């Protein structure tokens, strides 16, 4: 095995890992593991940090989402020679106006539909089960179904009793722990109230944050760190803006389609579709379920009309809206998205399902850049040209050479 001149005691592996600094890095890793092991035994030390993170995460995430939504509007105002602070004030005034308009025009009607849907949905579900029972009792499988001797009325009553008991227990738990409930509610309200202030400073100084972070890093790392921050910013911006626009379009199309076919609770179902469509693949399944149950109970013809509306909406969204709004910026395979949603949901619940995809996009940016640096370092220490990675510059040179 070849030895590097001036370092006769180092092999190619040691040189590739960093030479004499390899032992130093391994020692740092071992020391970090020991620190984690020790601090794991004294977790009470991190209680203030845990409380701080729990109170900060919600307003910061909400403010970041609004920041990526409103930043293009702010830049458009700046191109019109409006100062940044005045542009932020204009955005705030316009946002308050839109929210007030939505509250006065849409909220009362939406509230009525949601309340009626929640009250009448158990009856729809009961009627659906009874319809299935009537169909199976007269179908080709009637003899096998009758042998099961299923008492559906008793089963339905027991299910609804369990659901009612669950809500009673939950209400009792809230009543008994009213102090904790009030403190949690107060924390959420305070978090939401602080969002406009965090958003103001993000809009005002958010573009300076990457430069501030770069100044904290060694000069040798700033170029690569700048690329990572730029790509991460682009991924988050494209995903948040695109996904919310697509979700709004889906909700609007479903509402219009349900109004055309005469579906009950069209506004509530359209709003549900808009909210759940924020989660890819899983959201549409959740949105179509209550509409499908209502259609099954209403009439067979309503099922056909529902299928037609849903098919048209999915085609319009898949062929026209998403390619124009989202493009292929994330480059994430659908199977990967499903696995990310399942894993993030199991680890972090509903917040994990919502934040899993953008979190994966950020992780992918970091890993891809680290792998790029790994390939560059590997090629520097590989003496056989045929064993080196094919970089973009090398591919371009070979291609132009053939031409």
Residue 160 has pLDDT above 80, yes or no: no
Specify which residues 7 forms β-bridges with.
4
Residue 402 has pLDDT above 60, yes or no: no
Whether 315 is in a domain gets the answer yes
3-state secondary structure labels for all residues of the chain: CCCECCECCCCHHHHHHCCCHHHHHHHHHHHHHHHHHHHHCCHHHHHHHHHHHHHHHHHHHHHHHHHHHHHHHHHHHHHCCCCHHHHHHHHHHHHHHHHHHHHHHCHHHHHHHHHHHHHHHHHHHHHHHHHHHHHHHCCCCHHHHHHHCCCHHHHHHHHHHHHHHHHHHHHHHHHHCHHHHHHHHHHHHHHHHHHHHHHHHHHHHHHHHHHHHHHCCCHHHHHHHHHHHHHHHHHHHHHHHHHHHHHHHHHHHHHHHHHHHCCCCHHHHHHHHHHHCCCCCHHHHHHHHHHHHHHHHHCHHHHHHHHHHHHHHHHHHHHHHHHHHCCCCCCCCHHHHHHHHHHHHHHHCHHHHHHHHHHHHHHHHHHHHHHHHHHHHHHHCCCCHHHCCCCHHHHHHHHHHHC
Question: Which residues 6+ apart lie within 8 Å of 38 measured at CB?
Answer: none
- Would you tell me how many other CB atoms lie within 10 Å of the CB of residue 62? 17
Whether 144 is in a domain gets the answer no
CA angle (311, 313, 315) in 5-degree steps: 70
Residue 131 has pLDDT above 70, yes or no: yes
pLDDT category of residue 210 using cuts at 50, 70 and 90: confident
Q: Give the residue-averaged pLDDT of 170-185.
A: 48
**Backbone phi, psi, residue 4, to 5°:** -75, 135
Domain ranges, residue 363: 217-384
Which of the listed ranges 132-136, 296-300, 358-362 does the model predict with the highest average pLDDT? 358-362
Higher pLDDT, 388 or 97: 97
Domain total for the chain? 1
Whether 92 is in a domain gets the answer no
Whether 252 is in a domain gets the answer yes
pLDDT of residue 89: 92
Q: Give the residue-averaged pLDDT of 307-320.
A: 85
Q: Give the residue-averaged pLDDT of 268-281.
A: 84
Asked if 71 and 203 count as a contact pair (C-beta separation under 8 A), the reply is yes
Mean pLDDT (the chain, rounded): 76
Specify which residues 4 forms β-bridges with.
7
Whether 395 is in a domain gets the answer no
pLDDT category of residue 158 using cuts at 50, 70 and 90: low
Measured between alpha carbons, how far is 153 from 147 in angstroms, rounded to an integer? 17
Whether 399 is in a domain gets the answer no
pLDDT category of residue 152 using cuts at 50, 70 and 90: low
Measured between alpha carbons, how far is 358 from 280 in angstroms, rounded to an integer? 11
Whether 397 is in a domain gets the answer no
Tens digit of pLDDT for each residue in 43-78? 776 677 777 777 777 788 888 888 988 888 888 988
Measured between alpha carbons, how far is 229 from 235 in angstroms, rounded to an integer? 10
Measured between alpha carbons, how far is 200 from 203 in angstroms, rounded to an integer? 5
pLDDT category of residue 10 using cuts at 50, 70 and 90: low
Whether 403 is in a domain gets the answer no
Question: Which residues 6+ apart lie within 8 Å of 352 measured at CB?
Answer: 344, 345, 346
CA angle (300, 301, 305) in 5-degree steps: 120
């Amino acid at each position: 095995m070849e030895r590097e001149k001036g370092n006769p005691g180092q092999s190619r592996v040691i040189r590739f890992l960093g030479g004499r600094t390899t032992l130093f890095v391994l020692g740092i890793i071992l020391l970090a593991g020991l620190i984690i092991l020790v601090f794991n035994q004294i977790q009470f030390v991190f209680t203030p940090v845990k409380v701080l993170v729990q109170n900060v995460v919600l307003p910061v995430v909400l403010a970041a989402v609004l920041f990526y939504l409103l930043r293009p509007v702010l830049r458009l105002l700046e191109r019109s020679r409006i100062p940044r602070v005045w542009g932020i004030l204009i955005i705030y005034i316009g946002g308050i106006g839109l929210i007030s308009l939505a509250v006065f025009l849409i909220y009362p009607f939406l509230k009525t539909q949601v309340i009626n849907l929640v009250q009448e949905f158990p009856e729809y579900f009961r009627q659906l089960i009874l319809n299935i029972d009537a169909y199976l009792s007269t179908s080709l499988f009637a003899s096998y179904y009758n042998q099961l001797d299923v008492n559906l009325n008793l089963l339905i009553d027991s299910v609804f009793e369990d659901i009612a008991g669950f809500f009673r227990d939950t209400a009792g738990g809230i009543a008994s722990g009213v102090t904790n409930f009030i403190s949690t509610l107060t924390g959420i309200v305070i978090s939401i109230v602080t969002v406009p202030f965090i958003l103001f400073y993000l809009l005002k100084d958010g573009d300076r944050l990457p430069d501030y972070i770069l100044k904290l890093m060694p000069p040798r790392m700033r170029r690569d760190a700048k690329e990572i921050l730029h790509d991460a910013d682009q991924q988050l911006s494209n995903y948040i803006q695109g996904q919310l626009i697509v979700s709004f379009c889906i909700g609007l199309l479903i509402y219009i389609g349900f109004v055309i076919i005469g579906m009950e609770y069209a506004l509530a179902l359209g709003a549900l579709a808009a909210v759940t469509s924020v989660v890819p693949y899983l959201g549409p399944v959740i949105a179509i379920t209550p509409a499908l149950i209502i259609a099954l109970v209403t009439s067979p013809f309503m099922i056909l009309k529902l299928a037609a509306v849903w098919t048209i909406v999915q085609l319009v969204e898949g062929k026209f809206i998403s390619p124009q709004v989202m493009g292929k910026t994330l480059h994430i395979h659908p199977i990967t998205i499903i696995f990310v949603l399942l894993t993030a949901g199991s680890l972090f619940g509903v917040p994990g399902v919502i934040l899993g995809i953008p979190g994966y996009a950020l992780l992918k940016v970091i890993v891809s850049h680290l792998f790029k640096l790994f390939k560059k370092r590997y090629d520097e220490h590989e003496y056989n040209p045929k064993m080196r990675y094919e970089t973009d510059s090398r591919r371009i040179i070979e291609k132009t050479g053939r031409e």
